[in-house]
Structure 1
């Protein structure tokens, strides 16, 4: 359990909250590129309790500024894209991507009033279908060389979803390796074609689908170690005297995790506060072996949500689609075949902000407790101006932040520790775009060419 004051520290992310300031010192997802209208790429965004508006710049980049005009407080998300900026509909004040007021048409020609007006603005960068924003002080840090950023876009897919609870509940669900033995299991026949592939794919060397394997082995040994990216989490399930199932997931500090999704796929998922009681998860799926069918994947995901908010059709308002007959005959949850809904129910059902002062954690919660300790220590480091996890200070530091390795494999019961890195190295060696960890990443053009050669 946590002390009440620590629970407050780790859940409050507004502009003046200690954790809010820490999280703003990292690049955070602000929107999907695919949700920006092509005919008028302007969208209201609420990010860590700040109301902003995102828009496409003339040069193809992105601008992110305060949602409200400094003149009379009018909503700029309805503004006109004109003259390289966003023009307020009320009196025609024009704002550039840097937040500076460029024009005030009703003021005298000799007026310098516009020079004194500037609203909040934040730098943005686009990476694999997501617009990231930096809301912190000073210059933004370079992007790490994580796979989710360096994979060619043709091998990736990005999406998002709304969860009606605090951000930390989402992250803690993602780094908890023991829940998969129950939450995502079947009691009936596994309908492979529609269920989340990481639980319906056969685990190489076992003849079993992951949902069956983890369901039969409900007591994994969990080990957690610090890493440059945050935490590396091992879930070890001994199958017999000769074979052990090893699943490695990661915390990508401060609010993302990286998990294997089948044999060749991995996804990184950020849990980004809208405010302290709601958040979006953003995902970049990347495939080491094959180009993604982004059009099909997008259609599948859009069928599970309502727009424009990306709220799941199954949500707390309809009991997450719970069906007692399904629970007795097909899925353990009785909440349908979308594993995202299972995770959503688990973290939303705790309440908007979980009261961690009354929980009881065990040995199987090692990753959760390790994450909380890391967050609290990092808050102290941030206040003291000390280095933080996964935050490169320069290009060389960013180049060293690679991976992280996320694998689902079977190794020898004795000596599995020496196998997971080799397993990942083989996957990278066979990939049309990935490079060995520690080697310079391929440029997008080089990787795209490699992919084309492989396809040919």
Structure 2
């Protein structure tokens, strides 16, 4: 049983909290690059309980600075992009992407005040269509050579959506292999020709059995959890027959992401970026090992369920997630449509803004949930003791960390482990963007 203090430690993300100190040791996916379009190249960003303004100056440099102007504290998210920086509309103070004050134009001629003024800026980098920011102190870690970062833009697609609950419960649904047989159960198997861009709607690797059938008819997976250098590897085995076993391998990318298969050709790497203690964004990169990603189709599919400009879910608690009792009786287990993000959103939001884990009773299928919480507790202790936490990588460590391997596939019951690894190796070797060889198992 978890104590209330342990639950606070795991869920709080603001400055001065153990969880906030830990998460500030990693790059945070604060926005999609698409959000900095010509219509609004200056955007407010709230992350880890702090407020920032993100902008791209006239030269194309992306900056992330504190949202309050250091002069009189007004909101720089309404600033003007001009003269090589972001200008405050109140008194015209101008700030560069690196936080330097370039001008204080209302001051007397010859004033050197701007030379003594600086607002805090934060390192940013763009990877696979996502703007990552480092919000902590000291040197930022290196990002691993994972597939989502190695593949070119033609073979990746990024999207996001808001979830109105704490980041940890949003992450935990993705490292729960048992829930898919229930929460994402469909009573009819769809046409695999219409499965592009949709999870659990196609066939598993090396089989013509639809994933909907596998999950529905085999709801008791054998779950194995393995500690790795990047977090956790989760294996869910569903024994189809004496000869055949379905193998689903997914991963926890510590501390905030999971890496899962979407189809035989595509994977999803999904972060859960805390807005504050009670809201988060899921931000995902879809990576193709075959042909280029159809960006237009992927985007159009997701805009059916998320509304711009803030990527708010169209189905939510205010409209009961689109719940339809007739659909629940005959089509889907939840009655909440066919988009699994809506299913997950309902599951984690219905636990409350911050789940009260003192009232939960973990079961044997929750072994990955428990393992991840232990990793988080150990990593927080490491930060408090001045030691580097898990995945705070230097450049050499990051370059050698590849993958991670993930698959939905059929395998012989005897020898399933060697079989799925060989299938992953074949897929990676055939990738047109030359996926790097996996690090040693």
* TM bracket, shorter-chain basis: over 0.9
Q: Tell me the equivalent position of 2:276.
A: 275
The answer to whether the Cα contact below 8 Å between 2:334 and 2:343 also exists between their aligned partners in 1 is yes
1:446 aligns with none
Q: Using a 3 Å threshold, how does the CA distance of structure 1 residues 387 and 402 change in structure 2: closer, same or farther?
A: same
Alpha-carbon displacement from aligned partner over 1:44-70 (angstroms, at most 9, x marks no partner)? 111111111100134423100011111
Q: d(CA) in 2 for partners of 1:110 and 1:188?
A: 75
Partners of 1:249 and 1:287 lie apart in 2 by 16
Deviation at 1:382, TM superposition (A): 1.4
Is the 2:207–2:409 Cα contact (8 Å) retained in structure 1? no
Deviations 1:175-195 (A, max 9, x none): 100100111111245365379
Q: How does 1:244-255 map to 2 (within 5 A)?
A: 244-255=245-256
Q: Shift of residue 297 of structure 1?
A: 1.1
Q: Distance in 2 between matches of 1:4 and 1:195?
A: 43
Who is 1:138 aligned against? 138
Q: Tell me the CA shift for residue 112 of structure 1.
A: 2.8
User: Which residue of structure 2 aligns with residue 297 of structure 1?
Assistant: 298
Q: Give the ranges of 4+ consecutive aligned residues of structure 1 lying more than 6 Å apart after TM superposition.
A: none
Mapped to 1, the partners of 2:309 and 2:398 lie a distance apart of 34
User: Aligned to 2:92, what secondary structure does the other structure show?
Assistant: coil
Task: Give the match for residue 62 of structure 1.
Answer: 62
Does the residue aligned with 2:102 lie in a helix, a strand or coil? Answer: strand
Specify the alignment match of 2:409 in structure 1. Answer: 409
- Is 1:44 matched with 2:39? no
2-structure distance, mates of 1:195, 1:335: 20
- Aligned counterparts of 1:146 and 1:363: Cα–Cα separation in 2: 30
State the alpha-carbon separation in 2 of the partners of residues 354 and 40 from structure 1. Answer: 35
Aligned to 1:92, the other structure's residue is in SS state: coil
Partner of 2:84 in structure 1? 84
Is the 1:189–1:330 contact (alpha carbons within 8 Å) kept by the matching residues of 2? no
- Distance across 2 between alignment mates of 1:205 and 1:126: 35
Contact 2:161 2:312 in 1 (8 A): yes
2:351 aligns with 350
Q: Contact 2:271–2:283 (CA<8 Å) still a contact in 1? A: yes
In the alignment, the residues of structure 2 paired with residue 301 and residue 335 of structure 1 have an alpha-carbon distance, to the nearest angstrom, of 16
Displacement of 1:237 in angstroms is: 1.1
Tell me if structure 2 keeps the 8 A contact 1:390–1:401. Answer: no
Q: TM-score, normalised by structure 1?
A: 0.93
RMSD of aligned Cα (Å): 1.5
Following the alignment from structure 2 to structure 1, what is the Cα–Cα distance between the partners of residues 18 and 270? 23
Q: Deviations over 1:313-363 (max 9, x none)?
A: 100111111000000011111000111100110000100000000100011
Measure, in 2, the Cα distance between the counterparts of 1:288 and 1:151: 9
**Structure 2 residue 213 is the aligned partner of structure 1 residue 212:** yes
Unaligned 5+ residue runs, structure 2?
none
What is the deviation of 1:75? 1.0
Aligned to 1:149: 149
1:365 paired residue number: 366
Structure-2 residue corresponding to 1:437: 437
Over residues 95-139 of structure 1, what are the superposed CA-to-partner deviations in whole Å (9 max), with x where a residue is unaligned? Answer: 111222221111123333223322221011001111110101112
Contact kept? 1:304, 1:313, Cα under 8 Å: yes
Match for residue 234 of structure 1? 235
Q: Deviations over 1:254-286 (max 9, x none)?
A: 100000001110010000011110110001000
Residue aligning to 1:108: 108
Partner residue, 2:97: 97
Q: Does 1:426 align with 2:426?
A: yes
Larger mean CA deviation between 310-319 and 53-62 belongs to 53-62
State the aligned residue count: 438
For 1:173 and 1:383, the matched residues in 2 are separated by 28
The 8 Å contact of residues 225 and 232 in structure 1, kept in 2 or not, is answered as yes
Cα displacement (A) at 1:239: 1.1
- Write the distance in 2 (CA, Å) between the matches of 1:94 and 1:169: 41
Which residues of structure 1 form unaligned runs of 5+? 440-456
Q: Deviations over 1:119-173 (max 9, x none)?
A: 2210110011111101011121222111111111100110000000000011000
Residue 160, structure 1, aligned to residue 145, structure 2: no
CA-CA distance at 1:74 after TM superposition: 1.3
C-alpha separation between the residues in 1 aligned to 2:428 and 2:188? Answer: 36
Contact 1:161/1:281 (8 A) holds in 2: yes
TM-score relative to the length of structure 2: 0.96
Cα distance in 2, alignment partners of residues 154 and 436 from structure 1: 17
